[in-house]
Amino acid sequence: MTLHDMIQSYHDLLTDEVAEEADFLMRKKLKERNLYFGDRPLCVVLRPYFYTEADWHFMKTGLETLLTAFARAHDVCCAEKKYRNLLLLDDYEEQLYPLDKNGPAPWSSSRLDTFFVLEDRNLKCVEYNAETPAGIGYNDVLADVFDQLKPMKHFRKGGNMQALRSLNTLQESLVDAYKEWGGQEKPQIAILDWGDVPTLNEHEITREYFERHGYRSILADPRALDYRDGKLMAGDFRIDMIYKRVLYSELVEQMGIDNAVLNAVRDKAVFITNSPSAKLMSKKASLALLSDEDNADLFTPEQRKAIADHIPWSRVVSERKTMFDGKEIDLIPFISDNRDRFVLKPNDDYGGHGVVLGWECSADGWDATLKKALETSHVVQEKVTPVQGQFPSWLNGELNISKRYVDADPYVFNGTSVYGCLTRLSPLALLNVTAGGGSVIPTYIISD
């Protein structure tokens, strides 16, 4: 039976009565866990995402090879300023990156944002979220919820399935990094982010998991911390490890570079992860560094193949000549004349902010964005094949099975191992759930 056949057999289980009951239970369970953005639940569809073992193995092995190229790029950027210059770092990033020198891998957890066309095994990584990968806690809770839905209970009887829960792997990765850093005792953990972000519900899921497994944990706003007597404190709670979810850019913007958190990190009074140098590969320009023919000699033949297979053509927006499809081009005029083939992205932003899809833009709008991109820090990236799938939902009192765009965002632990996956759906080509209109769904592997 093909994956298409398995999906169809799942949809065949969804009568109107079954779909309505499943939707009611799903929303109830999500409400109990506060997994809503305003009045919209985190998930509004009634089927998880399925991979066969063979498809998941293809993704995992391809991306793990690609990660060795990112690690190589990270090392050369730390060692030589000429390569750091290619990333267009801000001044504070240049000051902070050495703080974790000679420490553990800067990425306890990270995430590769990809599009994976299963039919022809076309896998493209469009961003490396190396600083603050979101969504890990959502996956575990969503899998727990879906396992209680009637269609999933029936479907699981037909074969062996594994939900890709990731909180256990996250915890192990954090604790291992803490010990490698030099931590001796069981760490007390602060999950660090602003007190008013919409993702606090995910942080609370993670905090509860740590607590259940014997690690004292709190959610902490950086503005509420004190560094005194060689300890970073949240009230009377001593912080040994920071699981950092606040962005370094926002931390420095809000509190300056001389703040309690960074001072404690400088003094090695607290372990922070992901650490400051993780920001280097989180820059969109890191994909341009890998993709640019001028840097090919940095990488092994195996890494160059992984880059060619899995990184879309990417360049920093600048006045220059470069290669595209084996021919030399003048970059700016070429981008201007071929907007239907490209995406423009700010070098250092998140949540889809500032991303412009050329094929959805007028010629005048595109050229205006291109002019702005030349004046600021932007990357241009070749359009990748969008992925769509049919997903069921209970809509306006009836079962609705309709197309949605899909991206596949596998998690990475210790910078080397791919496990777990954030799967996002949207009616729009620009996928971002917190911006509204999308869903997060759990991911399962079906044994062959």
**∠ Cα 34 37 39 (to 5°):** 90
pLDDT at site 81: 97
Identify whether 375 is part of a domain. Answer: no
- Output phi, psi for 225, to 5 deg: -100, 150
DSSP for 357-374, please give it: EGGGS-HHHHHHHHHHHH
| pLDDT digits 0-9 by tens, 64-98 | 999 999 999 999 999 999 999 999 999 999 999 99
| Spatial contact of 86 and 288, defined as CB atoms under 8 Å apart | yes
Residue 300, token pair as written in the block: 């092994």
- Quick check: 203 pLDDT over 60? yes
| Spatial contact of 395 and 38, defined as CB atoms under 8 Å apart | no
> How many domains are there within the chain?
1
| Spatial contact of 309 and 291, defined as CB atoms under 8 Å apart | no
User: E strands of 277-365, at which residues?
Assistant: 314-316, 321-324, 327-330, 342-346, 356-357
Identify whether 85 is part of a domain. Answer: yes
- Quick check: 266 pLDDT over 70? yes
Give the Cα separation of 379 and 36 in Å (integer): 33
| pLDDT digits 0-9 by tens, 18-46 | 999 999 999 999 999 989 887 889 999 99
Identify whether 159 is part of a domain. Answer: yes
- Least Cα distance to 421 among 142, 118, 6, 71 occurs for 142
pLDDT at site 350: 76
| pLDDT digits 0-9 by tens, 279-292 | 999 999 999 999 99
- Quick check: 435 pLDDT over 60? no
Identify whether 256 is part of a domain. Answer: yes
pLDDT at site 430: 57
CA distances to 55, 57, 418 from 304, in Å:
22, 20, 19
Model confidence at 238, in pLDDT bands (50, 70, 90)? Answer: very high
In which domain, by residue range, is 277 found? 3-281+387-446
| pLDDT digits 0-9 by tens, 217-233 | 999 999 999 999 999 99
- The pTM (predicted TM-score) of the whole model is 0.94
pLDDT at site 436: 45
pLDDT at site 447: 86
Model confidence at 141, in pLDDT bands (50, 70, 90)? Answer: very high
| pLDDT digits 0-9 by tens, 306-323 | 999 999 999 999 999 999
Cβ-proximal residues to 224 (8 Å cutoff; 6+ apart), any chain: 195, 234, 235
**Mean model confidence pLDDT for the chain:** 94
